[in-house]
Amino acid sequence: MTRPDYTRVAADLTRGLMAFTRTLRDTGIDDRTRELVNVRVSQMNRCAFCVDTHIRHAKGFGETDTRLHHLAVWRDSPLFDTREKAALLWAETLTDLPKDGVSDDIYESVSASFDDRALCELTFVVTTINSWNRASVAFQLRPDRSNKD
């Protein structure tokens, strides 16, 4: 069954989400951390299109192949700093929300690396990539097959 291209069928809504996504570039979350979060959340949501897109963005911001390979095991990797690990913890927690919500332990751990404003900004980064992932997975948006590097 062929599914509609949501970016065309709901072009106005897609443009709105894209505009909001662009505003996230002007936050206190640096480009590399934002893209690490986008890749990790997309991995968790099994969104091949977004994994492909955000790996390319991350590399454009100077991210290394080795760190991208380690992203799935970031907790055990020495390649990520405390702030990046806090961002990834927050991203994973908000993507796979615990039944009882976000624990005080996780909140305290993450807020040690992010002030109130940055934590709110990070939260919007996570919720936005989750929105893109869910739409892309629902309508089976696929990466461009010509990109084989």
For residue 142, the model assigns a pLDDT of: 86
For residue 147, the model assigns a pLDDT of: 52
Q: Domain 10-138: which topology?
A: AhpD-like (1.20.1290)
Name the burial class of residue 112, with classes exposed (0-12), middle (13-18) and buried (19+) by CB atoms within 10 angstroms of its CB.
exposed
pLDDT per residue of the chain (149 residues) written in tens, 0 to 9? 899 999 999 999 999 999 999 999 999 999 999 999 999 999 999 999 999 999 999 999 999 999 999 999 999 999 999 999 999 999 999 999 999 999 999 999 999 999 999 999 999 999 999 999 999 999 998 887 555 55
pTM, to two decimals: 0.93
For residue 148, the model assigns a pLDDT of: 54
> What is the rounded CA–CA span in Å between residue 19 and residue 7?
13
> What is the rounded CA–CA span in Å between residue 98 and residue 125?
19
DSSP one-letter code for 74:
G
For residue 149, the model assigns a pLDDT of: 55
Q: Domain segments of the chain: what residues?
A: 10-138
